[in-house]
């Protein structure tokens, strides 16, 4: 096994987990006899008879906080909790002759581990050899042909999957024509592909599951305002712009320009802005506490409990019933908010290593436009037939388009505005640039350079000077800086030219 893993690792593949069933191990075999470099071992051996047993290798970088195992001499199973990756991974072995009672106790043990140790935002992976070939995974029904114990165990597994919202990911046979080895998961977005391949180690095929993330290298999601190296970490709503303007007025744009090449000037100027702002603008404060709606519900619930206590002392049964219903309704709303918060937090935590999950979560809140169900025809009658609906829409769309071949069609008449001669270089002044900046909305998104609109507007008088310097030198030299910061400067300059055209007609 170690050589197989090493071979796959050299080919660029890495297995965060390796689950093995029917290990045939006994207690006198130590974990030191089962080493795979870079992995830790968790196992559950069958103690009362030969055969059976399960084993789970996991990357050493994934610490295990809790391990629970089950062995009744028939079925075996183990569950590991990986808090750093928020994962529960379980391995199960159910022999073909296992009774319903033994299998049910094993599933109960796994369910207890889920409910005790795995929060709602944990991902569940349950794999192993179930030996239940008579489940139709297309319809989730138990086919005839098996023993009564096998059929009942199959139905028990389907009920277990329904309880914990699990899906079976293996859709190809793993032994002969039967799917005996399964992978159950509560988040199918984490599984990109499932493949099987024969192996000399067993008469069962080896199941390879390709995950959409690597649990061994998870990184904590970090809000952009916590990045201290950009403008977004600063709270410009609390900035002292009079002080900022004093500092900016002391910056010599020409000296900054002469300190390097023209191409380097935009980036240097942006860096200078960042340095000044990081010293003079307060940092954003991470949000703390509960949302306003949650606090409102909490206060209302507290008041209702005070009224309920008073009504109880007065013995007012009708009032008590009414207040209890109100408290129950508030508690229900709190539970809904808590559930939504957990889902949102889960999506945010996965945005880096599993963006598909985040965007699927966001898409679930989008509004879906419904198809047109009824329209009024020319006789003011409701129409529901699809063909008639299509004809009405076609008639309406056709009525708003002109026929280009119609002899009555004439060219539109309007006054042609004055056009600036391309051969004439526009005369741009810092005042025009400042006027163009003033027309930017305060809540406009920043450009590629990241300069906030509020900073540009509040400090337009000082920032318009380097923009003018850029424009003037660019027009005289014919050189356009390649820095992305130029995009913003050029936009303001062109806007200023538009303002000049409108005011002077040139």
More confident residue, 111 or 254: 111
pLDDT at 482: 44
Is 55:31 a contact under the CB 8 Å cutoff?
no
Q: What is the pLDDT of residues 314-338, one digit of tens each?
A: 888 888 998 898 898 888 888 888 8
Confidence class for position 124, pLDDT limits 50, 70, 90: very high
**Do the beta carbons of residue 356 and residue 212 sit within 8 Å?**
yes
pLDDT digits (tens, 9 = 90+) for 27-78: 888 888 888 888 999 999 998 888 999 999 999 888 899 999 999 999 999 9
Within a 13 Å sphere around the CA of 316, how many CA atoms are in the beta-carbon half? 12
Give φ, ψ of 42 to 5 degrees: -130, 135
Model confidence pLDDT, tens digit, residues 133-179: 999 998 999 999 889 999 999 999 999 999 999 999 999 999 999 99
Tell me the per-residue pLDDT of 394-447, one tens digit each, with 9 for 90 and over.
888 888 776 667 777 677 676 766 655 555 555 667 888 888 888 888 878 787
With a cut of 50, say whether residue 119 has pLDDT above it. yes
pLDDT for 400 equals 77
Mean pLDDT value of segment 195-210: 89
| Burial class (CB within 10 angstroms; exposed 0-12, middle 13-18, buried 19+) of 180 | buried
- pLDDT tens per residue across span 338-397: 887 888 888 888 777 777 777 777 776 665 544 566 677 888 777 778 888 888 888 888
- Write the pLDDT tens digit of every residue in 256-293: 878 877 777 778 888 888 889 989 999 887 665 555 56
Structure tokens at 85: 């990756």
SS3 per residue for 182-245: EEEECCHHHEEEEEEECCCCCCCCEEEEEECCCHHHCCCCCCHHHCCCCHHHECHHHCCHHHHH
User: Taken in order 214, 218, 224, 229, is the CA torsion positive or negative?
Assistant: negative
Of 117, 39, 29, the C-alpha closest to 80 is 117
pLDDT computed for residue 334 by the predictor: 83
Number of neighbouring beta carbons within 10 Å of residue 292: 8
Q: Which residues contact 396 (CB under 8 A, 6 or more apart)?
A: none
Q: How many CB atoms are located within 10 Å of the residue 239 CB? A: 19
The chain-wide mean pLDDT, for the chain, equals: 81
């Amino acid at each position: 096994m170690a050589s197989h893993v090493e071979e796959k690792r050299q080919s660029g593949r890495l297995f965060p987990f390796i689950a093995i069933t029917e290990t045939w191990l006994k207690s006198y075999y130590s974990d030191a006899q089962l080493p795979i470099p870079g992995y830790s071992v968790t196992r559950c051996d069958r103690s009362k008879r030969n055969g059976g047993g399960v084993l789970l290798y996991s990357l050493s970088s994934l610490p295990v906080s809790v391990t629970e195992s089950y062995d009744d001499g028939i079925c075996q199973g183990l569950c590991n909790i990986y808090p750093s990756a928020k994962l529960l991974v379980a391995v199960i072995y159910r022999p073909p002759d296992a009774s319903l009672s033994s299998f049910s106790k094993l599933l109960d043990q796994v369910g207890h581990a889920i409910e005790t140790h795995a929060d709602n935002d944990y991902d569940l992976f349950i794999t192993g050899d179930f030996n239940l070939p008579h489940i139709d995974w297309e319809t989730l029904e138990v086919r005839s042909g098996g023993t009564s114990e096998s059929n009942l165990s199959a139905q028990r597994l389907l009920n277990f999957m329904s309880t914990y919202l699990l899906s079976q990911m293996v859709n190809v046979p793993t032994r002969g024509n039967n799917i005996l080895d399964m992978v159950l998961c509560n988040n199918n977005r984490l599984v990109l592909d499932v493949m099987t391949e024969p192996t000399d180690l067993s008469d069962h095929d080896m199941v390879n599951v390709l995950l959409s993330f690597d649990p061994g290298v998870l990184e904590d999601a970090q809000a952009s305002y916590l990045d201290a190296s950009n403008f977004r970490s600063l709270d410009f709503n609390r900035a002292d712009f009079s002080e900022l303007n004093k500092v900016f007025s002391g910056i010599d744009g020409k000296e900054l320009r002469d300190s390097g090449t023209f191409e380097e000037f935009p980036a240097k100027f942006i860096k200078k802005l960042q340095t000044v702002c990081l010293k003079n603008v307060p940092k954003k404060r991470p949000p703390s506490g509960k949302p306003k709606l949650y606090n409102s519900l909490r206060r209302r619930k507290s008041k209702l409990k005070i009224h309920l206590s008073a009504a109880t002392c007065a013995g007012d049964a009708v009032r008590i019933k009414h207040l209890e219903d109100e408290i129950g309704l508030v508690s229900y709303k709190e539970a809904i908010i808590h559930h939504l918060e957990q889902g949102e937090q889960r999506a945010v935590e996965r945005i880096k290593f599993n963006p598909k999950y985040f965007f699927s979560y966001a898409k679930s809140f989008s509004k879906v436009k419904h198809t047109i169900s009824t329209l009024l025809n020319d006789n003011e009658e409701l129409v529901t037939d699809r063909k008639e609906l299509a004809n009405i829409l076609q008639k309406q769309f056709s009525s708003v388009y002109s026929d280009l071949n119609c002899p009555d069609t004439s060219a539109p008449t309007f006054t042609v505005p004055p056009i600036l001669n391309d051969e004439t270089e526009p005369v741009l002044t810092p005042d025009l640039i400042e006027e163009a900046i003033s027309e930017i909305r305060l809540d406009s998104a920043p450009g590629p350079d990241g300069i906030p609109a509020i900073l540009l507007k509040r400090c337009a008088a000082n920032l318009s000077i380097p923009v003018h310097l850029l424009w003037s030198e660019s027009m005289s030299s014919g050189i356009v800086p390649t820095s992305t910061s130029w995009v913003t400067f050029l936009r303001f300059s062109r806007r200023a030219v538009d303002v000049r055209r409108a005011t002077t007609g040139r």
